[in-house]
């Protein structure tokens, strides 16, 4: 039997250095101790942090609170107000459906997440060898 590796189930806010800043600050949050910037859990948490921050920012620009938005949100299976609050706080992991929903409401979400994911692609030097992004 091989080495047991951590699974995909994790609390997103627990893999960043300042869990209380999750979704609240514009800047990215450094990885928590034991994680690095290339860890798939940190990258997923960063995407979720970006979504949460952009959702809160866009709602504020609309003059709307999250509870107000959720009270009028479409009746979508799996889109409960309680789950969305936990997801936006980083207490429960986002799903692709969450990303798709919020990106349809706020296109900035899609653009920001796409830009971040694109940053993972190795850059090529003049000699043609790949170098890892920072």
Instruction: Indicate the number of domains in the chain.
Output: 1
Q: How far apart are CA 48 and CA 116, in angstroms?
A: 11
Judge whether 5 lies within some domain.
no
Judge whether 85 lies within some domain.
yes
* 10-56 pLDDT per residue, tens: 999 999 999 999 999 999 999 999 999 999 999 999 999 999 999 99
What pTM was computed for the model?
A: 0.84
pLDDT at 14: 97
Judge whether 6 lies within some domain.
no
Judge whether 30 lies within some domain.
yes
Closest Cα to residue 11, out of 74, 94, 106? Answer: 94
CB 39 within 8 A of CB 10: no
Res. 109: pLDDT tops 80: yes
Q: What is the DSSP string of 46-105?
A: HHHHHHHHHHHHHHHHHT--HHHHHHHS---TT--HHHHHHHHHTSS---HHHHHHHHHH
Judge whether 46 lies within some domain.
yes
Domain that holds residue 42: 12-118
Judge whether 61 lies within some domain.
yes
């Amino acid at each position: 039997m091989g080495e047991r590796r951590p699974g995909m189930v994790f609390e997103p806010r627990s893999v960043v250095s300042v869990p209380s800043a999750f979704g609240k600050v514009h800047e990215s949050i450094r990885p928590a101790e034991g994680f690095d910037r290339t860890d798939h859990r940190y990258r997923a948490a960063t995407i979720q942090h970006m979504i949460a921050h952009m959702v809160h920012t866009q709602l504020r620009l609309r003059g709307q609170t999250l509870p107000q938005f959720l009270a009028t949100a479409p009746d979508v299976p799996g889109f409960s107000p309680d789950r969305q609050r936990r997801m936006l706080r980083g207490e429960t992991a986002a799903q692709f459906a969450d990303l798709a929903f919020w990106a349809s409401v706020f296109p900035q979400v899609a653009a920001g997440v796409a830009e971040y994911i694109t940053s993972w692609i190795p850059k090529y030097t003049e000699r043609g060898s790949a170098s890892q992004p920072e």
